[in-house]
Amino acid sequence: MADPGLRICQPSTHSVKNPARRSHQKHVAGRGYPLLVAGNLLYHPAATGLQILNCGVNGDNVSDLQNRWQEDCLDLKPDLVSILIDVNDIWHRIDEWSHGFINDDYNNYRDLLHHTRQHLPETKIVICEPFLLRYGRGNHRWFPHFDQCRAAAARLAAELNVTLVPFQTVFSHAVMESKMGPEYWADDGVHPTLAGHSLMAKA
């Protein structure tokens, strides 16, 4: 149950994060899983004073996130920050993938997280595992690069001793256990359906 006055910030980059957000709307939760999470938290009477700030920008990559991190995270001084990135970094450069790009992406993400820990030592950081279903746009061209990005997120979570939300594991189990095809959870392999957003909100 949320404590009064808690501020939760979600300045991520994936269009999964906020299908409806506009850059000036920092006090709305969008239409995706952040809205479902926000609703579940705000439902409790103890949530009086809780602020959930969705600062996600569709299509951004790690570099874009770095450029707006001061305004969309550090200046807000959240009690908790949730980050979901890396899918756009692969998508935008899938035709020019290189091992060097993986290293650059990892190092930039790492620098951003350490910068956050330095300036907001009391803020809880949550890293969300990137996910991709093998359907539609989620074809063989993404692999093994995507798995390397997942591993990088896990390494960073371990290095900083922060929470990792295993979205890929959650989706993989849902596809297997429900006997529903991947399109039921993400109709293009990348962007979740309503069922997919609900799954993420419960993770």
Structural element, H or E, at residue 115:
helix 99-119
Asked whether residue 162 carries a pLDDT value surpassing 80, the answer given is: yes
Structure tokens at 85: 């990135």
Please compute the mean of the pLDDT values over residues 150-176 and round it to a whole number. 94
1 located within any domain = no
pLDDT value of residue 18: 43
Instruction: Give domain status of residue 2, yes or no.
Output: no
Question: Quick check: is 115 in a domain?
Answer: yes
Q: What is the pLDDT of residues 1-54, one digit of tens each?
A: 333 344 566 655 444 444 334 333 344 556 688 888 888 888 876 766 778 878
Domain of 82?
7-202
Q: Is residue 53 part of a domain?
A: yes
| CB-facing half-sphere around the CA of 142: CA atoms within 13 A | 23
Q: What is the CATH number of the domain that holds 51?
A: 3.40.50.1110
φ/ψ of residue 164, rounded to 5: -115, 125
Cα distances (Å, whole numbers) of residue 12 to 32, 160, 167, 171: 13, 18, 15, 19
Is residue 35, in this structure, part of any structural domain at all?
yes
Residue 53 phi/psi, 5-degree rounding, is: -110, 110
Percent of the chain whose predicted confidence (pLDDT) is above 70:
73
Number of domains in the chain: 1
Distances (CA, A) of 74 to 9, 11, 50, 77: 10, 10, 18, 5
Residues facing 54 on adjacent strands:
10
Domain membership of residue 86 (yes or no) is yes
